Amino acid sequence: MAIRPRQALRLLAPLSRDAGEGLGVGATRAAYHNVLSRKRRGVREMKLTPGTVAVVTGAGSGIGRALALHLAARGCDLALADVNREGISETVEQIVAAGKARIRVTTHVVDVADWGAIQRFAGEVEQRHSSAQLLINNAGVALGGTFEQVSLEDFAWVMGINFWGVVHGCKAFLPILRRQPAAHIVNLSSVFGLVAPPGQAAYSSSKFAVRGFSQALAGELRDTPIRVSVVHPGGVRTNIARNARVGAVDPELARAGAEYFERALRMPPEQAAAIIVRGVERDQPRILVGNDARMLDAMARALPGRVGKIVADQTPGRDR
């Protein structure tokens, strides 16, 4: 969403007063910064050191590739998965070109929606790396169109990769992670796992599901050495919007939507990867990537009953 911080604060203040919630711009700004400055106390921080084995899905492009390169620079061994064989090969080439050929890197062509494939992937990782301490469930796809415009088959396709891919990854790798002195699971949600704009019913459903699943899993694992983080990236410059499936949408409107998202996706994936890795090392249960994600999170918390209208008003083509 292309909502700037000052614009969000201006929107919050009058809506808050109308709702009788007593949040002016100053109070909203203070609450926003308080949220950002919170730190969990008394919990160990995971250190990514040479020899740490990191598993990354969706590593053939975008945030997944940037995470692989960032972790390689830290000396981590890598098990990289993607459904695109060429994409994952390009990631490895970039790791080698960066002078990190000495780390152990294995590649795996995996459809995360396929439970059997994920089970085989976990077995391969255990066989070739002996262990794994970091699991990043990053693989994801997008689908544009209102609920009435998208088919149930496409809806299931999005849920299969974005949500079930996360569930499959956690289920398959948890036995390995439990055997480690310290481990971490990172599940990629989205800014659309914080708010749900029109035209994103399927995608938002999958990302809200990741958020809820991650929160429950974190509670279940709180007395173990395994920590869980859920990531909400905002406008990161990847190919996910460009490669999205589109339902039965008017072609002109589809083009307008694609152009809008191209303008909104501004953060380099390398910057997003650095934020995510820093969040892991700080043991942050929620990692917000970008000003748009932070502001929409603040809006959703301050005005849960009104944020839907704000987001809908900012969505291109909403009246068509």
pLDDT reported for residue 295: 83
pLDDT reported for residue 20: 35
Whether residue 63 is contained in a domain is answered as: yes
DSSP-derived pairing of the beta strands 183-188 and 143-144? unpaired
Structural domain for 308, as ranges: 1-37+291-320
Question: In a 3-state reduction of DSSP, which class is residue 185?
Answer: strand
User: Do 70 and 130 share a structural domain?
Assistant: yes
The helix or strand, by DSSP H or E, that contains position 281, with its residue range, turns out to be helix 269-281
Query: What parts of the chain have a pLDDT lower than 70?
Result: 1-45, 236-265, 313-320
pLDDT reported for residue 101: 73
User: Do 257 and 244 share a structural domain?
Assistant: yes
Catalytic residues: 203
Q: What total number of domains does the chain contain?
A: 2
Q: Tokens in use for 163?
A: 């949500």
d(CA 88, CA 46): 27
CATH code, domain carrying 70: 3.40.50.720
Measured in degrees and rounded to the nearest 5, phi and psi for residue 78 equal -130, 140
Question: In a 3-state reduction of DSSP, which class is residue 294?
Answer: helix
